[in-house]
Amino acid sequence: MCWRIIRTTLLLILLGAVVEAVAQAPTYYEFHPQSIMTLGGGFSVSDLTQAKQQCVKFDVKPLDRDATLSTKATIELATSSQTLRQALSMDSSIDVSYLMFTGSASFSMSQENIATNDDVNLVMNFTNEYGRVGIENEQLYPFAQTLLDQHQLTEFHNQCGDQLVLIERRGASVSTIITLRSVNATAKSKLAGSLGAKVDLGVLSGDLKSTIAGEIDRAAGEGRLSIEVVSTGGQGFAALSTVVRQTTDSKTAIFEKLQAALGDYLKSFTPANAAPLGFHVGPMLNYSQSQDDLWGIEKEDRLSVLVDTYRRLYRERVDIQSILSKQDPRAGVYSEPEIDQLRALQNPVNEYLVQLAEVHRRCKAATNENLSVCELPQNKPPVPTFLEPIINPWVESLVVVDGKLLTSGQSRAIFEDPGSGEFLTRVRRRTPEAKTAAEVLKIHGRILDAALIATDEEGGNEQLRVFYPKHTRGDTLGFSGTGITIGLSGFYHAQEDLDDLSPFGAAYYYANTRECGFALDQGTWSRDQKYLSGQISLNIRDAFGQQFKYELASFQTGQRHEFEHDYYLIVDETNGPNGRFIPLEDCSGDVLRPEYNKWTKANSNAN
């Protein structure tokens, strides 16, 4: 009877009160795909990865009358692996107990999402919580009670654990991890200031919604967007993944479409097919030894450092092995000295991973007074900076005014100018003395080539011209639709004249679209017609074999379009400080020397 009173009191504490302590074993654990916890199951605070025998028999008791307790839709900015776990409502205590994160069929993610300081990671979550369930009429099975009666406490702890799951929260949760790469400082600062903590999607201001939606659509169009979706479960997860992928490909209104997709997916859940969202726990039945000295915030933080270091170095080891076996496309990009440097790292990295695993094991078993065993091992092997992850090529729209390339922020202010008028008119609102202006498409990555492609409404493709960043002469391409040849061989500047140009990367003037328009009706091409049916796009291929399509224009049959300004193409050369600017002939065969000279004059001494 005494124990039943204690247990009832504990349940009331778990349901209503908050108990603070300097160091105590957690009384609540959130969802984790690798969790071994189940209602009425036992576990040990010192090792949350080890399942125990079922030592308690019990009856299940519903604790709430309402079938649905709450529905939430939130968005949050994640700035580290730890805040990413928090944003996903994924238990950090359980996560840091595992050296590697393996996930599940519906909850698998790459922890490389937290990549660089220029990236933004938004986590959008939809959650339904249903009625909770608890245990009643609980008692130890005879074999477990016998261990206690014989004072075999160590054996009881090994078989049954020291903690018991008393209450299970049930529901459904689905999240998307939205990664925007290379976000400018202004936009990132605005998002960080507004989304530093979870924000209800229903109370987002119109301005903030517009900012988020605009950044996502812009990143999708430029190839800087990646989205992962995770869920606590559900039969429709594969279909949801397909919808999310199609939404990303749409390039427009992605934020709104993602919200609709997550909301629709959540509707497929009911209390009958819900999954655990979290667990309230207490001491194991009749086991009186306190475990409070085995866990605390400092210990969890130290385990987090060990785990993050191990996972990052493990991924780098996998990359090194793949490169050395030539299964990774980076093997064909790195120089022989760089390959030798990676080869020499193999043994030091393996040895350090073994040391990390041992420190992690000792740290989990350590008490809060003995956390010195949790220190990172010394002599961590330095992984070279050139071993960077393969990131998709992406296109950034910039503006050049009178030969001067504007920054990302300055360019965006012009592109997003709400006022009317031609391109140069919008430029002059900020630079009244501007005489010329052009749009620049800057391609980031290790680019092999970029082809200008016209696609008609029936799906036929015509390659109009191709650009080679590391070549000083182009090829002559045939336009098979009409037999018209567009020449790309007329370069008029010697290589030595290009060595002192801007460090922006290899640049190509690829079209003066005021002089050269395309009409794809019935497979015809015309310089005089400034409209097209279908689309014109850049198809970009990088050194890793990745391809990316950037759409320049898309129109219906007979729709007239006037290109209001010229375009340039810049391609980054990440391995060299000196870029190249090479002019191409336009469709009329004239070399556009004036623009080239302006660019040269403005940037020849740039650092």
Task: Map out the domains of the chain as residue ranges.
Answer: 2-283, 296-374, 394-603
- The pLDDT value recorded for residue 15 is 41
Residues 34 and 506: their CA atoms lie apart, in Å, by 48
- Residues 290-307: what's their mean pLDDT? 86
Q: What is the band of 110 on the pLDDT scale with cuts at 50, 70, 90? A: low
Evaluate whether 191 touches 211 at the Cβ level (below 8 Å): yes
Q: What is the pLDDT of residues 548-602, one digit of tens each?
A: 887 766 655 444 444 444 444 544 433 332 333 333 333 333 333 333 323 222 2
- The pLDDT value recorded for residue 94 is 92
Evaluate whether 30 touches 277 at the Cβ level (below 8 Å): yes
Of 108-112, 475-479, 489-493, 511-515, highest mean pLDDT: 108-112
Q: What is the band of 528 on the pLDDT scale with cuts at 50, 70, 90? A: very low
Residues 170 and 602: their CA atoms lie apart, in Å, by 64
The number of angstroms, rounded, from the C-alpha of 184 to the middle of its chain's C-alpha atoms is 16
Q: What is the pLDDT of residues 320-350, one digit of tens each?
A: 999 999 999 999 888 999 999 999 999 999 9
Q: Judging by DSSP bridges, how do beta strands 275-283 and 225-231 pair with one another?
A: unpaired
Evaluate whether 531 touches 558 at the Cβ level (below 8 Å): yes
Q: Pick the closest to residue 462 from 488, 440, 443, 486 (CA basis).
A: 486
Tokens found for residue 364? 């989990």
- Residues 414-439: what's their mean pLDDT? 84
Q: Which has the minimum average pLDDT: 166-170, 214-218, 461-465?
A: 461-465
Evaluate whether 216 touches 180 at the Cβ level (below 8 Å): yes
Is pLDDT above 50 for 351? yes
Residues 572 and 567: their CA atoms lie apart, in Å, by 16
Q: 98: exposed, middle or buried (C-beta count within 10 Å: 0-12, 13-18, 19+)?
A: middle
Is pLDDT above 80 for 375? yes
Q: Pick the closest to residue 393 from 511, 217, 552, 570 (CA basis).
A: 570
Per-residue burial over 104-141, b = 16 or more CB atoms within 10 Å of its CB, e = otherwise: eebbebebebbbeeebbbbbbbbbbbbbbbbbeebebe
Phi, psi angle pair for 461, to nearest 5°: -110, 140
Is pLDDT above 60 for 271? yes
Tell me what the pLDDT averaged over the chain comes to. 74
- Give me the residue label for tokens 């015509």: 462
Q: How far, CA to CA in Å, does 520 sit from each of 456, 479, 563?
A: 6, 12, 16
Q: 601: exposed, middle or buried (C-beta count within 10 Å: 0-12, 13-18, 19+)?
A: exposed
- Residues 516-522: what's their mean pLDDT? 32
Is pLDDT above 50 for 34? yes
- The pLDDT value recorded for residue 20 is 36
Q: What is the pLDDT of residues 112-168, one digit of tens each?
A: 555 556 788 999 999 999 999 999 999 999 999 999 999 999 999 999 999 999 999
Which one-letter DSSP state was computed for residue 560?
Answer: B
Is pLDDT above 60 for 12? no
- Residues 468-473: what's their mean pLDDT? 42
Q: What is the pLDDT of residues 49-93, one digit of tens each?
A: 999 999 999 999 999 887 778 889 999 998 887 888 888 888 889
Evaluate whether 467 touches 443 at the Cβ level (below 8 Å): no
- Give me the residue label for tokens 């990316």: 548
Is pLDDT above 50 for 377? yes
Is pLDDT above 60 for 507? no
Quote the pTM value. 0.73
Question: Is the model more confident about 13 or about 339?
Answer: 339
Residues 449 and 468: their CA atoms lie apart, in Å, by 5
Report the percent of the chain where pLDDT is more than 70.
Answer: 69
